[in-house]
Structure 1
Amino acid sequence: MGEAERGDAAPRLYVSYFCSNGHETRPAFAAEATIPESWDCPRCGLPANTDAENPPPPPKIQPYKTHLAYVKERRSDAEAKAILAEALKMLRTRRKNGEVIY
């Protein structure tokens, strides 16, 4: 009864995608639609492709780095000491001149 009221369903194409955890996902696409090469697995969130024998590897997760870790990558200890000495010298000069520093 429902199909007679709404008309015929559009032709569909079911494509199987496989993730590295062995999950299979079968989304439906319109028959004339362009099929994507990869699809996110709805069970684990990893990328999946149509090759069951060779699924894509899980993405590499970079550990969280603090601001200090990024600074230490760019500066050596000697450079850090020189910058600190310069900043302290400027601060002490401003205090000596009577500037209010918060």
Structure 2
Amino acid sequence: MSSGSAIRGSRVGSSPVRPDERSEPAPRREVTYFCAAGHASRILFAAEASAPDAWDCPRCGQPAGLDREKPPGRLRAEPYKSHLAYVKERRTDEDGARILEEALAKLRQRRGRE
């Protein structure tokens, strides 16, 4: 049985239901962004903050812009690349062969076969 000293109906970190009478919320402004899928997203910013030109649409994840008539285009889905594909973009076949030879030489030296 509880001791009766617990505050019922609230949790740690909860805030009062109504705003404090001695303060008022910061001024805000609403900016609407439009994506290529036709979604309109209304985002609140502080009144003194500058709104970015592009925002990710919360519904579809595509880029959204400020112009309803010309929203940004859809993002192109990049295919999955393996680690080897990224390495091949950075290195030539000659570089790969040289690095492999260096690694094999170190391995042979450690094993005492040099």
For residue 55 of structure 1, report the CA deviation from its aligned partner: 0.6
Gaps of at least 5 residues in structure 2 are: 1-16, 95-111
Structure-2 separation of matches of 1:42 and 1:33 = 20
Going from structure 1 to structure 2, the CA distance change for 1:65 and 1:51 (only over 3 Å counts) comes to same
Q: Identify, as 1 or 2, the structure richer in helix.
A: 1
2:64 to 44, 48, 52: 48
The sequence identity of aligned pairs, in percent, is 54
1:1-102 superposed matches below 5 A:
2-3=18-19, 5-66=21-82
Q: What is the aligned-residue RMSD (CA, Å)?
A: 3.9
Gaps of at least 5 residues in structure 1 are: 80-98
| TM-score (norm. length: structure 1) | 0.61
Structure-1 separation of matches of 2:81 and 2:53 = 33
| TM-score (norm. length: structure 2) | 0.56
For residue 3 of structure 1, report the CA deviation from its aligned partner: 4.2
Going from structure 1 to structure 2, the CA distance change for 1:75 and 1:51 (only over 3 Å counts) comes to same
Cα deviation, 1:64-89, whole Å, max 9, x if unaligned, reads 2345666887778xx8xxxxxxxxxx
Going from structure 1 to structure 2, the CA distance change for 1:71 and 1:6 (only over 3 Å counts) comes to same
Structure-1 separation of matches of 2:26 and 2:87 = 57
Cα deviation, 1:24-62, whole Å, max 9, x if unaligned, reads 111111111111111111111111111101111111122
Amino acid corresponding to residue 71 of structure 2 in structure 1: P
Going from structure 1 to structure 2, the CA distance change for 1:17 and 1:71 (only over 3 Å counts) comes to closer
Query: Structure 1: which 4+ aligned runs deviate by more than 6 Å?
Result: 70-76
